Amino acid sequence: MTGRATRRSWFIWLAAVTVYLLAVFHRTSFGVAGLQAADRFGVGAAALGTFTVLQVGVYAAMQIPTGVLVDRYGPRRVLTGAVFFLGLGQILLAIADSYPLGLLARAVLGFGDALTFVSVLRLIAAHFPGRHYTLIATLTSAIGYVGNLAATLPLSLLLDDAGWTPTFLVVGLVTVLYTVVVALRVEDNPRGEPEPVREKVHPKVLGRQVAEAWRTPGTRLGFWVHFSTMFAPNVLTMLWGVPFLVRAQGVPKATASSLLIVFVFGSMIGGPVVGGLIGRRPSLRMPLVGGYIAGAAVMWAILLGWSGTIPVAVLVPVFAFLSLGGPASMIGFALARDYNPLARVGTATGVVNVGGFVATTVSALAVGVLLELTGGAFRPALLSVVAVLALGTFRMLVWWRRTRATLFEAEARGEEIPVQIRRRRWDAEASLPVSS
C-alpha cells in the first residue's frame, strides 16, 4: 500500500490485533499453570516440557502452510479459523483429566496460535504504507504482550481462586465468540482496491513458492534473526520461568509470576521504540540485533554464573533486557517484507516465523530432559539455551554476509535496494550459495 492509512485500516488492525492478544494469552498461560498441570496430570519435568514442545512444535510446523493459506485464501478467513481453534483448545484443556487429552488440547491451541501472527502481518502489509510496516508490526507485538500480562499474576490468582476447569472453560468460550467480530470487521484489502486473484494453485507451484522464499538470502537472514532473538524469552515465559524461580531460587509463586511481568512491560515499551527507530533508519536493523544478542549472552552468564540465590534487584534488569528479544525478532519480518514481492510476503513471513519457534521447541525440550537427567538442577539445564543462542548467532552471521553480497550485486546492476549499506572489508569474501 502507498500513501496514508485510513481510519478503517486502523479499525481492521485493531480487530485483528485482538486475536493476536488472545493467542499470546493462551500460548503463555502454562507459564503460571505449569505447576498445577504437573499435579493435575501427575507428570514430571520432562513430560511437563512436552506440553510446550508439542504446542510450539505444531506452531512451528504450521508457519509455512499458514503463509501459503494467507496468500491463497486471505487473512480474514485464516484469522476466523485461528480464533475458533484457540478457544477450542482451551475448552479441551478445561475438561482434560488425563495427560494425553491435555496434550491434544495444547496441540489444538498451538494450531490456532499458528494461524494468527502471519495473518495479522499480512493485513498490515496490505493496509499500511511500507515505511510504517515495522512500526505497526512491533506495535502489534507489544499489544500481544498485554495477553502475556494477563497470563501472569491475574491468571495465577484466578486459577487459585476459581480452579482449573472454570478458568479455562470461560476464557475458551469467550475466545470462540470473538469469531463473530473477526468475520464482520476484518477486510483483506483497503476499500477501493481490487481483490487479488486467488486461483487454485497446484501443490508443485506452492512448493516452488516456498522454495523461492527460502532461497532468498534476505528471508534466510530473517529466519536466523528470529531464531536467535525471540526463543529465550519464550522459554522463560511459556514454561520454565516460574519453575526456575520457585524451585531453584526459592521465590514464592506469586512473586515469581509477578517477575514474569517484567518481560511483558519490557516488550511493550521496547517494541514501539525499536519499530520507530528502524522505520526511520533501516540500516540500524542488524546492529540492533547484534547488540541484543551480545547483551543476551551477558545476561545468561549472570543467570547461570551467579553464586547462590540471585537477588530480585538483579533478576529484574536481566529479565528486562532479555524481554527485548521479542521486539528485536520483528526485524526478521521486516527483512522478509523487503526482500520478497507482496504476493509472497505471507509465505516468506511464515518461513521467518518458523525460526524462533523451532528454537523455542528445541530449548524447552532440552531443558526438561536435562532437568530429569540432573535431578532438577536448573543451571546445567539452562545451558542448553546458551547453546541454541550460539548456533543461531553463527548462522545469522553467515546469512547476513550473503544478504549484503546480494545487495551489492543488485546495486551494481542499477536496481533499487531496500537499505543503503556501506561496503566493509569482510564483504569481499561473502559468497552467495543458498543450499546450506
Under the banding of pLDDT at 50, 70 and 90, the label for residue 435 is very low
How much is the pLDDT for 426?
Answer: 65
Q: Is residue 194 a part of any domain in this protein?
A: no
Binning the chain into helix, strand and coil, the percentages to the nearest 5 are 80, 0, 20
Q: Is residue 199 a part of any domain in this protein?
A: no
How much is the pLDDT for 37?
Answer: 84
Q: Is the pTM of this model over 0.85?
A: no
Under the banding of pLDDT at 50, 70 and 90, the label for residue 203 is low
Closest CA to 89 of 170, 183, 26: 26
Total domain count, the chain: 1
Q: Is residue 426 a part of any domain in this protein?
A: no
Write out the three cell numbers for 436: 546450506
Better pLDDT: 2 or 391 = 391
Burial 228-263 (b: 16+ CB within 10 A, else e): bbbbbbbbbbbbbbbbbbbebbebebeebbbbbbbb
The beta strands (E) that lie in 66-172 are given as none
From CA 167, how far away is CA 155, in angstroms rounded?
A: 8
Q: Return mean pLDDT, the chain.
A: 84
Q: What is the CATH classification number for the domain harbouring 334?
A: 1.20.1250.20
pLDDT tens, residue by residue, 324-354: 998 899 899 888 888 887 777 778 888 898 8
pLDDT tens, residue by residue, 393-422: 999 999 988 888 887 777 777 666 667 667
Amino acid present at 158: L
pLDDT tens, residue by residue, 287-305: 999 999 999 999 999 999 9
Place of cell 528470529: 226
DSSP 197-260: P-----HHHHHHHHHHHHHSHHHHHHHHHHHHHHHHHHHIIIIIHHHIIIIIT---HHHHHHHT
Taking the CB of residue 199, how many other CB atoms lie within 10 A of it? 8
Under the banding of pLDDT at 50, 70 and 90, the label for residue 88 is very high
Q: Is residue 286 a part of any domain in this protein?
A: yes
Q: Is residue 90 a part of any domain in this protein?
A: yes
Q: Which range marks the domain in which residue 40 is found?
A: 7-189+204-418
Q: Is residue 222 a part of any domain in this protein?
A: yes
How much is the pLDDT for 22?
Answer: 92
From CA 114, how far away is CA 330, in angstroms rounded?
A: 16
For residue 3, which phi and psi values (nearest 5 degrees)? 85, -145
Q: Is residue 181 a part of any domain in this protein?
A: yes
Under the banding of pLDDT at 50, 70 and 90, the label for residue 30 is confident
From CA 419, how far away is CA 274, in angstroms rounded?
A: 17
Better pLDDT: 365 or 194 = 365
How much is the pLDDT for 201?
Answer: 57
Q: Is the pLDDT of residue 114 over 80?
A: yes
Under the banding of pLDDT at 50, 70 and 90, the label for residue 50 is confident
Write out the three cell numbers for 73: 485464501
C-beta separation of 223 from 332 below 8 A? yes
Percent of the chain exceeding pLDDT 90 equals 31
Q: Is residue 356 a part of any domain in this protein?
A: yes
